[in-house]
Amino acid sequence: MVVPGRATAYVSLMNAGMDEFQGLITESRNRATENIDQLSTIDMLRAIHDADHVVLDAVAEEIPNIARALDGIVERLRAGGHLVYLGAGTSGRLGVLDASECPPTFNISSEMVQGIIAGGDGALRDSAEDVEDDAEASVQDLKRCSFGKGDILVGITASGRTPYVLGGIAYANSLGAMTVGLSCVPGSKLAQAAGFAITPAVGPEVIAGSTRMKAGTATKLVLNMLSTGAMIRLGYVYGNLMVNMRPTNEKLQRRALHIVMEVTGLNQEHATVLLQQAGSIKTAIVMHRLHLDRDTAERRLSQAQGQLRKTLEES
């Protein structure tokens, strides 16, 4: 039985951009996996794995673009701006995931890096695909989080054409905010609309249109670079140690102790006493290295905007 409303919707689609949709790389069939449903289990998994190899090279090609965007992000964050990820479906979930990991890893506020998904937090678990077609919804979502001129919006959509994301980018551009477009289709609408374009061209998916696969993997890799790179540049990392982390459970408390032992050379007993006296990893290291009391160590860190290396080098 044909449902009238649905039939009308399909006719509308035929009249509005079907040719463009069919031409998308993200919707094309991957010739290497056309018969994947006939392969043995081990050959099927090898086909998926072989396709994933493309992702690393595609992201590597975009490193110069990622670097340019990252420098702009750091400049705005230093000035008090916020980094906001915006996406629908898989893209939105990956943005929320990356943002939610930043506070415990780098001990920053939850407002500094935020993730917005079309349909709200409920869409993290239950799909809300219809919302991605609403360009105005993203504008309202950005207004709710008080997005402003000094902030950075990273719009994420594998196809580079999702209305929800394009609407958000247009709004951010109108404010004069920094905009970054992360997609997997070179020359996409998003790449053209955003101030900075990051476009790892991963090619057709193993399962045609299933952008949670290669495109999703590429997205995760790029977001890792943006957030981690920003925190490194802001001084929340010393060497490759997360000295600004928030030790909120036993595992993280052990990690904090290990970091203090690693940097100071103290044994476990002395490092434990030092960390208890200091109250934080960075303060403990400054107290030990510069032979200071806690108040003076904290004051030196504050003068260096919380950057451990700068504190130690200036002293």
Contacts of 87 (CB under 8 A, 6+ apart): 93, 94, 95, 116, 117, 118, 155, 156, 157, 162, 164, 165
Q: Which of 101, 111, 269, 313 is catalytic?
A: 101
Among residues 203, 147, 145, 214, the alpha carbon closest in space to that of 175 is found at: 147
Q: Supply 49's token pair.
A: 């794995």
132 is catalytic: yes
Radius of gyration of the chain (CA): 23
Q: Which of 34, 129, 132, 313 is catalytic?
A: 132
The bridge status of strand 152-156 relative to strand 113-117 is unpaired
> What are the angstrom distances between the C-alpha of 279 and each of 3, 124, 193?
64, 35, 46
Task: Give me the amino acid identity at 146.
Answer: S
Phi, psi of 117, rounded to the nearest 5 degrees: -115, 140
Task: Give me the amino acid identity at 82.
Answer: H
Residues recognised as catalytic: 101, 132
